[in-house]
Amino acid sequence: MSRSILSRWLLGFGFFLLPVAALLLLILLDALQVRMPARLLEVGPPQAREWVMPQSAFWRFGWGAQVFVQRGQADGVGAEFRWVERGELESASAPEALVRVRRFDASALFGIPVEVCDGAGCTAWRNQPLTADARLRLELADGRQMVLSGTDIAALDTLNRDGTFKRLGHWLRALAGVVIDAPRNANTEGGMGPALVGTSMLVLLMSAIVSPLGVFAAIYLYMNQDRGGFARLARAAISNLAAVPSVLYGAFVMVAFVYGLGGFIDQTFFAHRLPSPTFGTGGLLWAACAMALLTLPIVVTVTLEGLERVPQGLIEASLALGATREETLIRLVLPLARGAFLTGLILAISRAAGEVAPLMLVGVVKSAPQLPLSPDYPYIHLEQKFMHLGHQLYDLAVHAPSFEAALPMLKVCAALLLVIVLSLNLIAFALRARLIRGMENMLP
């Protein structure tokens, strides 16, 4: 590559695209390292010692005079996070006996296990697995001892004793937990499992609703390209639907579907459950309807574009062989434009995965007691409230007890959403490119 082209690339990408890409890359890398546990360190004079964990395992390579650390103290003792001078941290020791106790419904504790008691009596702690009825006595940094029940403890990590491989294992398990686990401690720890299930269910239902509508609308516009006020009206409607702010889809579905249709369904079929609403309140089905309406213009536009790309020569050949217009469309044009429809659907799915505003009005919640998918009849619970990846992100940032406490989870959640959206879009890109190439190759 010559120097002039390189400088042009830098100029063209440098002032907007590269910074934005860097910002996104930063969150990806940050999310990867955020779950990698650092060593627990002891700072401060012996009489006022503190056990802290730097928020990044790579804090030694960072910059800035201070490092952000977590303080695993008992509940209600000072802030959970604070800044520590870098020098103080560099000279700190890492006592081998220190462990991190992760709890289900509260923040993590840093301490030294003293003994484990169960029905058979108490024994000194020697890294044995904890049973549910066991009680762990833990010494905290301020010298106090705390008794934890086995049912409260999510995991006990001997971070300072573990070697590199064991810690790598911790890290991999934590990364896997992001997609498998249920959230803990007011959504600030654990994983995104339910949110992923909720998002997938939403996207599946939305696809089921939007696919036929979008394809048929696109076919209609393709068949009636230049004639008919109705087709012109439909074209204008699609352009305007695409311009409607997403939150208004939520408002519309809320009054028309949730209160209107949902209220009617409740009175007709679920009268025995009233006054507690079944379909008369936000739920998965209504959210999918809102998302389907929201993504309808995308599916129609992209599908129509694909239909119009089919070479005219092929269509004329089919007509010349005696096929009707409709037969040509069904047997020839539609199969050729299948990729375009798929592209539109993927773009719609990527939009639905990240769109939050309309969902807030039609049934997304910060923590759903049950998954919309369960082994109980009827298996898919259309009326249930659900969790959504994008909304989880918003809720964590705004409603978490403290922004710092939610930060690791926020980064992980944001990176997950980013990976999903980017990969969906890259697939759509590749599909579209292949489609265009295929059409071009079809011409003599």
Partner 1 sequence: MPSHALEKSLDRLRRGAWLQPVSALGAFVVIGALAAMVAFLLLQALPLAAPPTVRSSEQLALSDVRAAFATAQGSLLVEGSGRVSDWPDDGPAAIARCQLPLAPAEAWLSRRADTLWLSASDGTTLQVRLKDCRTQVLPALAPPWAATVVDNRLLRSRGDLDLVETKAGLLALRVAAGKLVLVQGARLDRLREVASVAFANVNRASFNAVGEHVLVDSGDAISLLRVVRAHSGEVSLLITRRFSADGARAEFVDENTVALTVAPASVTLVDAQSGGHIGKLNLTGTIGAIRIGSDQRWLVSTSMGLTRLTLAPLHGAATWRSLWLPVPRLDGAGSAWAWTPEGPSDGNARFALVPLLGTTLLLALLGLLVAVPVAFMLAAFAALNGASLRTPIKQAVELIEAIPSILIALCVLIYLAPLTNGEPFSAALLLSVALGIVLVPTVFSIADEALHAVPRSFAESALALGARPLQAFVAITLPAAASGLIGAVCLGFGRAISETMLLLLLASMLQVSALGWLPSPLPLGATLASELPEVPFGSTHFRVLFVAALLLLGMSLLINVFADRFRARFRRKLGQL
Q: Which is nearer to partner 1, 10 or 179 (CB)?
A: 10
Binding piece for partner 1, criterion CB under 8 A, among 108-116, 187-195, 253-261, 366-374: 253-261
Residues within window 286-315 making contact with partner 1, judged by CB under 8 A = 293, 296, 300
Task: Give me the least distance between CB of 69 and partner 1, in Å please.
Answer: 16
Sign of CA pseudo-dihedral 330, 336, 340, 346 = positive
**Residue 111's beta-bridge partner residues?**
99
Task: Give me the least distance between CB of 286 and partner 1, in Å please.
Answer: 13
* 234 touches partner 1 (CB under 8 A): yes
The 208-227 site mask, x for binding partner 1 (CB under 8 A), equals ----xxxxxxxxxx-x----
Residues within window 372-411 making contact with partner 1, judged by CB under 8 A = 390, 393-394, 397-398, 403, 407, 410-411
Residues within window 315-374 making contact with partner 1, judged by CB under 8 A = 324-327, 329-330, 347, 350-351, 353-357, 360-361
Which of 230, 267, 273, 434 is close enough to bind partner 1 by CB under 8 A?
A: 230
* 12 touches partner 1 (CB under 8 A): yes
Burial class, 279, CB count within 10 angstroms (exposed 0-12 / middle 13-18 / buried 19+): buried
Size of the site for partner 1 (CB under 8 A): 87
Alpha-carbon span 110 to 185, nearest angstrom: 16
Alpha-carbon span 152 to 101, nearest angstrom: 10
Number of CB atoms found within 10 A of residue 56's CB: 18
Which of 36, 182, 332, 421 is close enough to bind partner 1 by CB under 8 A?
A: 421
Task: Give me the least distance between CB of 45 and partner 1, in Å please.
Answer: 30
Q: Which two tokens stand for residue 274?
A: 């009233």
Q: Which is nearer to partner 1, 175 or 323 (CB)?
A: 323
Residues within window 24-43 making contact with partner 1, judged by CB under 8 A = 24, 26-27, 30
**Residue 44's beta-bridge partner residues?**
none
